[in-house]
């Protein structure tokens, strides 16, 4: 019998969570992220799940870890010819998986640990290593039919598929990986198809993004990103968030506090009430990067080389809570997901709309937050 309105729970979009050890210890097993996201099963519909782990490849920490989907052997051979011409390949192989009945029709899933050949880095043309790697990712994804680089950072990796996130975690055997940070996502697509490349996280270099919500400003954001050379070809609005953060942090050099002020900028009436110097800076950022303001309901978690940022839209139209226990910080769409993996959490709170939670790996010259 068809249930009527009010007789069934409709969750507010996808599920996201993140766990980070702010001392940078590889103390978090991938299974913890699986257990946390599993609690929010009803927030996804089986059309996408995924994880990003940081610190998981210590034996190849100085190499870029390329995770690549291939539709067929022709695509694999073409991509490997490209990699062989442009990169030193330290190791390559199939990413280990196990059979899970609900995960069907997987592509060929390969992993390569690579570094650019020095002959391809031309300092006179300002082509640095990260720029070359990013350009190579876009080249493969847009020019080699049936190949998709879905992870390309150092000492980190993305694992994603079509399926519920807990099944995706089992499929990729995430219990075999230890890291200092994990993020996870359960997808409930509303405007785009469910396919392996469209699952979250979306990653470029060391940046990875999981996202709950819908980006109303996608066309404006996408046009700006493509004007800068990014290729948005993955059929989802979340992709562009990753490129915006890469551009603002890696290319422009903004810290994550300023990035939050750009993509979830304060309202003008809030700026008018700020101290003069702070107001001047916020006005400058809003005017210079107005095309990078992200509108619509969203909550995101972005992993990066030395930390993690979680952020809501300015009106907090998507749920997000955070907690901490000793030196571990937890973030999730629902409090239950945190308590599942840390029942005796010391402190738990809900950040305000537009208020970032930024956790950095502790250094001698840095504070914890």
Residue range 103-123, pLDDT digits in tens? 999 999 999 999 999 876 665
User: Which pLDDT band holds residue 4 (cuts at 50, 70, 90)?
Assistant: very low
The reported pLDDT for the residue numbered 126 is 62
Tell whether 159 is covered by a domain: yes
pLDDT by residue (tens digit) across 266-297?
999 999 999 999 999 999 999 999 999 999 99
Tell whether 179 is covered by a domain: yes
Tell whether 280 is covered by a domain: no
Closest among 277, 260, 279, 261 to 269, alpha carbons compared: 279
Tell whether 272 is covered by a domain: no
Tell whether 40 is covered by a domain: yes
- Tokens 């990712």 belong to residue: 137
User: Which pLDDT band holds residue 367 (cuts at 50, 70, 90)?
Assistant: very low
Looking at the predicted structure, is the pLDDT value of residue 5 above 70?
no
Tell whether 277 is covered by a domain: no
| Domain that residue 45 falls in | 15-252+298-360
Catalytic residue among 14, 17, 232, 342: 14
Tell whether 283 is covered by a domain: no
Tell whether 285 is covered by a domain: no
Looking at the predicted structure, is the pLDDT value of residue 3 above 60?
no
Q: How many domains does the chain have?
A: 1
The lowest-confidence range among 8-12, 83-87, 137-141, 354-358 is: 8-12
The answer to whether 14 is a known catalytic residue is yes
The reported pLDDT for the residue numbered 144 is 97
Question: What is residue 69's three-state secondary structure?
Answer: strand
The reported pLDDT for the residue numbered 363 is 54
pLDDT by residue (tens digit) across 235-251?
678 899 999 999 999 99
> Taking residues 288-308, what's their average pLDDT?
96
Q: What is the CATH number of the domain that holds 152?
A: 3.60.20.10
Phi/psi at 351 (5° precision): -65, 155
- Tokens 């110097």 belong to residue: 277
- pLDDT, averaged across the chain: 92
Query: Cα–Cα distances in Å, from 158 out to 68, 151, 200, 201, 275?
Result: 10, 5, 9, 7, 41
pTM of the model: 0.93
The reported pLDDT for the residue numbered 279 is 96
The reported pLDDT for the residue numbered 12 is 53
pLDDT by residue (tens digit) across 150-167?
999 999 999 999 999 999
The whole-angstrom separation of Cα 219 and Cα 202 is: 18
DSSP summary character for residue 42: G
């Amino acid at each position: 019998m068809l249930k009527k309105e009010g007789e069934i729970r409709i969750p507010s979009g996808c599920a996201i969570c993140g766990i980070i050890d702010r001392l940078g210890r590889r103390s978090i097993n991938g299974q913890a992220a699986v257990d946390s996201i599993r609690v929010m099963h009803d927030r996804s519909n089986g059309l996408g799940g995924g994880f990003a782990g940081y610190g998981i490849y210590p034996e190849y920490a100085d190499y870029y870890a390329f995770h690549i989907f291939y539709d067929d052997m022709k695509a694999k051979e073409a991509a490997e010819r490209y990699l062989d011409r442009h990169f030193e390949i330290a190791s390559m192989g199939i990413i280990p998986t196990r059979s899970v009945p609900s995960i069907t029709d997987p592509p060929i899933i390969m992993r390569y640990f690579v570094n650019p050949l020095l002959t391809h880095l031309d300092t006179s043309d300002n082509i640095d290593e990260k720029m070359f790697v990013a350009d190579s990712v876009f080249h493969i994804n847009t020019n080699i039919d049936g190949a998709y680089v879905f992870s390309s950072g150092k000492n980190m990796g993305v694992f994603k598929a079509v399926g519920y996130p807990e099944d995706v975690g089992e499929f990729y055997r995430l219990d075999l990986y230890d890291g200092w940070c994990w993020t996870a996502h359960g997808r409930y697509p509303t405007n785009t198809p469910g396919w392996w490349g469209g699952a979250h996280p979306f990653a470029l270099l060391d940046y990875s993004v999981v996202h709950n919500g819908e980006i109303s400003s996608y066309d404006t954001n996408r046009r700006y990103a493509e004007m800068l050379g990014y290729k948005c070809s993955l059929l989802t609005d979340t992709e562009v968030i990753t490129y915006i953060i890469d551009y603002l942090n890696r290319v422009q050099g903004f810290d994550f506090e300023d990035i939050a002020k750009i993509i979830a900028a304060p309202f003008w009436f809030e700026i008018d009430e700020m101290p003069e110097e702070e107001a001047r800076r916020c006005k400058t950022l809003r005017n210079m990067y107005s095309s990078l303001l992200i509108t619509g309901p969203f909550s995101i978690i972005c992993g990066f080389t030395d930390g993690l940022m979680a952020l809501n839209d300015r009106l907090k139209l998507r749920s997000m809570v955070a907690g901490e226990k000793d030196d571990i910080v937890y973030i999730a769409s629902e409090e239950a997901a945190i308590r599942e993996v840390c029942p005796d959490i010391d402190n738990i709170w809900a950040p305000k709309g537009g208020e970032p939670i930024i956790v950095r790996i502790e250094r001698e010259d840095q504070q914890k937050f």
